[in-house]
Amino acid sequence: MDGAIGKLAAIFGCNGTHLTAWEAAFFRDADPFGFILFARNVDNPAQVAQLCADLRTAVGRDAPILIDQEGGRVQRLRAPHWREWSPPLDCVHMAGALNAPRAMALRATVICAELAALGIDANCAPVGDIAGPQTHAFLRNRCYGHDAAQVAQIARAVADAHLDMGILPVAKHLPGHGRATLDTHHELPRVTAPLGDLLASDFAPFAALADLPMAMTAHIIFDCLDPDHPATQSPAVIAAMRDMIGFQGLLLTDDLNMQALSGDLGQRTARSIAAGCDIALHCKGDGGQMVQVAAHAGAMGAQTRARAKGALACRHPAKAVDIAALEAEFHALMQPKG
């Protein structure tokens, strides 16, 4: 085991705003790669900072702590303690094509400053999915645009803002979620587009982001690569992520509790790791389920450990920024264009 990165090929959530004795003992023994926070874990800044410290104390190291802070519907830190943001696609439309990359980078910088102040050092963003007329509503306004070039440009600006602030970006959802017409929290979508179309569109933003340290899978079937298994559990699709898209960083599953996946949590975990995912992501904070995931995720292998080390090397203390100046520039870009 490498003590700097932990042992277990998993990221876990916890149940509430404070770590329980059972959770602390379980995390100490299981030693997962990292943790993820949700709205149920958030009350006020001092409490969140203490929870982050307690999670790291439980494993005895500076484990990464993730959150989903995209802005819009998907943001776990909310007013009155943190800034509220419009959905990304609304922001992009308001800024206009010319200004959208800068506007999204500005808001990402402010978001990262808020995360860093709490001890959170990884954010599940940017979203590299392309919004289309068929994109399910749960995802559509979280996207950055309607074509591959626009999405790639804005996603790169968002990712670079994270890296500049020492926050690990987690690109999502490889190899592309935009064609899904179903909500993967509840159902398993199937994409029937030919491979050539996917390479030219859906996969292209992720190819442009292939150098990022971390990414998250999509629970979607791509018929042209594997008609029988969702991407998270498909060796063929994960091989395409590595070879066609070129992503060589640390690959996380999307949340294993999402009902696009079948079987119990142990089966979901085992299938995902066997297919080539590096890290099993379990978000619910349910103790019994975490025990199942831990039993089937296994210790990180040599390749996963190397990718994990590479990802963590991208963390650094957040640089000092002038938040007021960043916000003023952002709001100027959001003004209606004459």
- Residue 1: inside a domain: no
Peptide bond into 80 cis (omega under 30): yes
Query: Residue 336 has what pLDDT?
Result: 80
Q: Tell me if 3 is assigned to some domain.
A: no
72 domain-assigned: yes
Q: How far apart are CA 101 and CA 121, in angstroms?
A: 22
- pLDDT at position 2 is 46
Number of domains in the chain: 1
Judge whether 97 lies within some domain. Answer: yes
Active-site entry in 81, 93, 185, 229: 185
175: preceding bond cis by omega (within 30 degrees)? yes
pTM of the predicted model as reported, rounded to 2 decimal places: 0.96
Question: Is residue 219 flagged as an active site residue?
Answer: no
Residues 6+ away with beta carbon under 8 Å from 72: 85, 86, 87, 88, 90, 141, 142
Burial, 134: exposed, middle or buried (Cβ in 10 Å; 0-12, 13-18, 19+)? exposed
CATH number at residue 166: 3.20.20.300
What distance separates the 2 farthest-apart alpha carbons in the chain? 60
Asked if residue 130 is part of any domain, the answer here is yes
CA distance 139 to 129: 9
How open is the CA angle 5-110-161, to the nearest 5 degrees?
Answer: 60
pLDDT, residue 276, reads: 98
For position 218, what pLDDT does the model report? 97
Please pick, among 254, 255, 278, 282, the residue that the annotation labels catalytic. Answer: 254
- Reply yes or no on whether 136 is catalytic: no
Is 224 part of any domain? Answer: yes
In a domain, 161, yes or no: yes
Q: 276: domain range?
A: 8-333
249 falls within a domain: yes
Residue (of 70, 18, 12) closest to 42 by Cα position: 18
pLDDT average per 10 residues of sequence, the chain (338 residues): 80 98 98 98 98 98 98 97 98 96 98 98 98 94 97 98 98 97 94 98 98 98 98 98 98 97 97 98 97 98 98 95 97 86
Is residue 8 within 8 Å of 290, Cβ to Cβ? no
